[in-house]
Amino acid sequence: MMSSVAVDAVSDVLVLAAIDRAERHSGRDTRGVPIWTVLRHLDVAARSKRAREARVRLDGLVAAGSLERVVRHGVPVWVLTAGGRRRLSRARRAGRVPVLAESPQHRAWREARGLAGQRIEGFWLEVLEAVEHAQELLDAPVPGPPALEGPEAAPGPASDEWFEVGQRLQRACRRLGSASYCLWEWREPEDARADIDRHVEPGDGAFDPGERARRRARRRARRNMLLWDSEPGLVFLGRAVREQREQRDMTTGELASKAGAGKRRVERLEAGKLDPDFELLSAVACALSVRLSVLELRARELERTEGPR
C-alpha cells in the first residue's frame, strides 16, 4: 500500500471520510470518534490552522445533519448520521473525495517494520551473547553436596547467576521475537478494516485449549516497540497519561505548562522512557484533574491486558 498525501484544504467530504475510516479502524462496535482521532486520520497537528479549520467543519456538519455530536464517558465524539453516510457515498461515486492521508494503523506498521529492520541484528547478537553466557555456566563444575568441604567440593555457579541469565535470555528472546514478527509476519494493513492483533496464528487449531491460551499470552505486546527499551510498567503508565491528556484535547506542551514541567520530560514520560518521581507524577495528575490512583490503576489494567506474559 502506498501512503497517500494529505491535501491542503480540509473539506466537508474529507472530514466525513476521515470519520468513516476512523470508525472502521477502531475495531469497536460503538460508532463515533473523538477529535484527536479525526485529526490523526487527517494527518493534522492538534494546534494548527488546519486543525481549527477541521473543527469549524465538524460544527458545520453537525448543523447540516451529516454528523451528530454525543458525549461518552465525558468525552465528545462525532458520529456519522445516515444523511452523512449518503452524502459521503454520493461524493465517492462522483469521485469528489480527496485522498486521505496515510492511516495511523498503516503508519504504525510501516514504522515498526522499518525499526525492526534496523535493530533485529543487534537483538540477534544479544540472544547469542546470552546463550553463550548460559553455556559458560553449564560448562562450570557441578556444585557438590552442601556437606562436602575441602578441595573435592565443586563450587559451580551461584543460584543468582542462573536467575540473572534466565532474565537476560527471556528479555533478549522477547525483543528478537517482537522484531521478527514486525519485520516478517505483520501483514500490511488494509484501509477497509481495523488492523488489530488478536494474538492468533493459523496453526493454533492443532493445539489443545490450554496451549492455545499460553501461546496467545506470549504474543501480547509483540507490536509494542516501546517495550524494546523500557520497562512495561513505565510504558503503560505513559499510555495512561497520554489517554487522559487526549481525552482533554490537550497538547503535550499544554500539559507540561500546567504541570510546571518541561515539555521534553512529559514527552519522555508518555513514551515510557522516564521513571517519574512522585512530584512530577502528582503534578501531571493535578494538571489532568484526575487522582494519581486513576493513572496507576489504568496503567496496571493496560499492562495486565496488553503486556508481555
30 φ, ψ (degrees, to nearest 5): -75, 130
Same domain, 127 and 211: yes
Q: Pick from 102, 137, 157: which residue ends a domain?
A: 102
C-alpha 180, offset from chain centre = 17
The three grid cell numbers given for residue 80, joined into one nine-digit string: 456519522
Q: Render pLDDT for 212-237 as a digit per residue (tens, 0 to 9).
A: 999 999 999 999 999 999 989 999 99
Identity (one letter) of the amino acid at 194? A
Same domain, 159 and 206: yes
Entry field: residues in the chain:
309
Same domain, 84 and 116: no
Q: Is residue 61 part of a domain?
A: yes
Residue 43 is part of a domain; what is its CATH number?
A: 1.10.10.10
Q: Render pLDDT for 109-162 as a digit per residue (tens, 0 to 9).
A: 999 999 999 999 999 999 999 999 999 999 988 766 665 555 555 667 888 999
Residue 271 is part of a domain; what is its CATH number?
A: 1.10.260.40
Same domain, 115 and 214: yes
**pTM assigned to the model:** 0.84
Same domain, 215 and 147: yes
Q: What is the pLDDT of residue 8?
A: 53
Look at the chain and report how many structural domains it folds into. Answer: 3
Same domain, 209 and 252: no
Q: Render pLDDT for 58-116 as a digit per residue (tens, 0 to 9).
A: 999 999 999 999 998 888 999 999 999 999 999 999 999 899 999 999 999 999 999 99
Give me the domain span that covers residue 206. 104-228
